[in-house]
Amino acid sequence: MAGVWQVEDMKDKKVPEGMRLRPSILVGGEPGKPGPKTARNWFKIEKVETKKPSARPGQHYRIYYCPNVCPQSCNVECGNIGVSIDDDTAGLGLSKGFLSCS
């Protein structure tokens, strides 16, 4: 079976004062079973509009994390999935920025 993506659990991470770490996207989630225990697994592919004049209209998408499987009981930080580079290693991470794919 293919790996299931999930947002890194940041609740026990030690963050230096004044710094803010962005969660990475990891493999290891549990398929199916929507609810608080799997909230870190739920991603959306959304169609987006772009203002670039050279872009083909209607063919841009983003991968977005903002699960609605437990809106009142889950404390999640929503964001776009983007490329994250740490110590010359690239991976996916939760981002406030925007990266569209066409």
Q: pLDDT at position 101, please?
A: 46
Residue 20 has which token pair? 């803010």
pLDDT at 34 over 50: yes
pLDDT of 72 over the 50 cut: yes
| pLDDT above 80: residue 83 | yes
Q: What percent of the chain has pLDDT over 90?
A: 0
What pLDDT does residue 74 have?
Answer: 73
What pLDDT score does 99 carry? 45
Q: What CATH number does the domain located at 5-95 have? A: 2.80.10.50
- Tell me the three-class secondary structure of 21-83, residue by residue: CCCEEEECCCCCCCCHHHHHHCEEEEEECCCCCCCCCCCEEEEEECCCCCCCCCCCCCEEEEE
- Mean predicted confidence (pLDDT) in 32-52: 82
65: β partners: 43, 79
Given this model, what pLDDT does residue 100 score? 44
Ordered by start, the domain boundaries in the chain are 5-95
Q: Is 84 helix (H, G, I), strand (E, B) or coil?
A: strand
- 23-52: average pLDDT: 83
